Amino acid sequence: MKSRENLVRLKRFQVNEKRRQIMQLDMMIAEFERMASELEVQIAAEEKKSGITDINHFAYPTFAKAARQRRDNLRNSQSDLMQQKSSAQTILAEAEAELSKAEMLESRDLKPREAEGNRGAMIG
């Protein structure tokens, strides 16, 4: 039953690959969060320095506007990554279920061969 062994190996690879992908997404989400937090601090410092917190004010600091835009872009990207992670988790759950089925089929196929091997040893 070499094909079953190959199937199990393929399913294990797929499960491991999805887990790795989810870990990468987690790291990217955390990095985006860290960067957005740093931008928040910079925005607050710039607003404090200028004394203007109204975004629509004509003298609102240009740097703060740009930092706000970058922060908003990071938050949007972070949201997209969270959706990708959710999708990847669903696919991972499906891959784990397929792996479990393949492993059960492989173990089912191995049991008759082991029993034949034991009978042969007893007869011989």
Predicted confidence band at 123 (pLDDT cuts at 50, 70, 90)?
low
CB 22 within 8 A of CB 92: yes
**Over the stretch 42-101, which tens digit does the pLDDT of each residue have?**
999 999 999 999 999 999 999 999 999 999 999 999 999 999 999 999 999 999 999 999
**What residue ranges in 43-119 does DSSP mark as E strands?**
none
pTM of the model: 0.78
Question: What pLDDT is recorded for position 106?
Answer: 82
Range of the domain at 49: 2-123
Residue 33, SS3 per DSSP: helix
Whole-number Å distance between alpha carbons of 89 and 18 = 8
**Structural domains in the chain (count):** 1
CB 108 within 8 A of CB 1: no
The enclosing domain of 93 has a CATH number of 1.10.287.1490
